[in-house]
Amino acid sequence: MERFWITGLVPATFTPMHEDGSLHLAQVGPMVDYLAAREVSALFVCGSTGESASMTSAERQATLEAFCTAAAGRIPVIAHVGHTSLADARALAAHAQQVGADAIAALPPFYFKPATVSTLVACMADIAAAAPDLPFYYYHIPGLTGVNLDMVEFLRQGAARIPNLAGIKYSSPTLHEFQACANYAGGRFNLLFGVDEMLVSGLAAGAHGAVGSTYNFAAPLYQEITRAFAAGETAAAQQLQLLSAQMVLKLVSSYRPLPSLKAMMGFAGVECGPTRLPHVALTSAERTALHADLAELGFLEWLR
pLDDT tens, position by position, 4-29 = 999 999 999 999 999 999 999 999 99
> What pLDDT, on a 0 to 100 scale, did the predictor assign at position 111?
96
pLDDT at 2 > cutoff 80: no
pLDDT at 152 > cutoff 70: yes
pLDDT at 153 > cutoff 90: yes
The residue-averaged pLDDT of 178-198 equals 98
pLDDT interval class at 46 (50, 70, 90): very high
What DSSP letter does each residue of the chain carry, written as one string? -------EEEEB----B-TTS-B-GGGHHHHHHHHHHTT-S-EEESSTTTTGGGS-HHHHHHHHHHHHHHHTTSS-EEEE---SSHHHHHHHHHHHHHHT-SEEEEPPPSSS---SHHHHHHHHHHHHTTSTTS-EEEEE-HHHH-----HHHHHHHHHHH-TTEEEEEE-SS-HHHHHHHHHGGGT-SEEEE--GGGHHHHHHTT-SEEEESGGGT-HHHHHHHHHHHHTT-HHHHHHHHHHHHHHHHHHHHHS-HHHHHHHHHHHTT-----PPTTSPPPPHHHHHHHHHHHHHHT-GGG--
Q: Which residues are catalytic?
A: 139, 169
Mean pLDDT value across the chain = 97
Instruction: Provide the whole-model pTM.
Output: 0.97
> What pLDDT, on a 0 to 100 scale, did the predictor assign at position 183?
97
pLDDT at 1 > cutoff 80: no
pLDDT interval class at 304 (50, 70, 90): confident
| Domains defined for the chain, CATH in brackets | 8-218 (3.20.20.70)
The residue-averaged pLDDT of 185-202 equals 98
pLDDT tens, position by position, 263-274 = 999 999 999 999
> What pLDDT, on a 0 to 100 scale, did the predictor assign at position 288?
97
pLDDT interval class at 186 (50, 70, 90): very high
